[in-house]
Copies of this chain bind each other. A is one copy, B any other.
Amino acid sequence: MSFISTRSRYGLRFLIELSKRRNEGPVDLGSIAEDQAIPETYLAKLVVPLRNAGIIRSARGAKGGYELSRSPDDITVLEVVEVLEGRSSLLECTERPELCARSADCPTLPIWTGLEKAVHDYLKGVSVSDAAAPRAPDYAI
């Protein structure tokens, strides 16, 4: 059970919280960790790749914290998952067929490739602002 691990789940909840507290200036990690019941030291590590990816920006020092560096409409869940899981695929061989000697005529590869695409398309269609909406009906169907 690892494609959507706590990394993505915590991370997405963190971003939603940031999107709710836009225009408060930088929000400190501790307050989000607390009200989302996420271990602060663990969340602190998830924040690094998000910053590197340009999704959030940070301010150090007292009164520092994090804020979204883009509109939540422009942050897709796909991007968040890719950044936090370190990969975008459920399978190595769909992205790097050269890793498997059998890939050239593997009958199952097209199936997995299709599955990847289904996942990609879905996640690409949902943004952080969709997620932040109180009851978002569309993507749940």
Interface residues of A (CB under 8 A from B): 1-4, 9, 12-13, 16, 37, 77, 87, 89-92, 102, 106-108, 110-115, 117-119, 121-123, 126, 130-134, 136, 139-141
Contacts and interface: CB of A to CB of B under 8 A. Distances in A.
Copies of chain A in the complex: 2
Contacts of A108: 9, 12-13, 16, 131
Nearest to A11: B108
Interface secondary structure of A, over-half rule: helix
B13 A107 contact: yes
Contact of A87 (B1, B117, B118, B130): B1
A121 B37 CA distance: 33
Contacts of A107: 13, 16, 131-134, 136
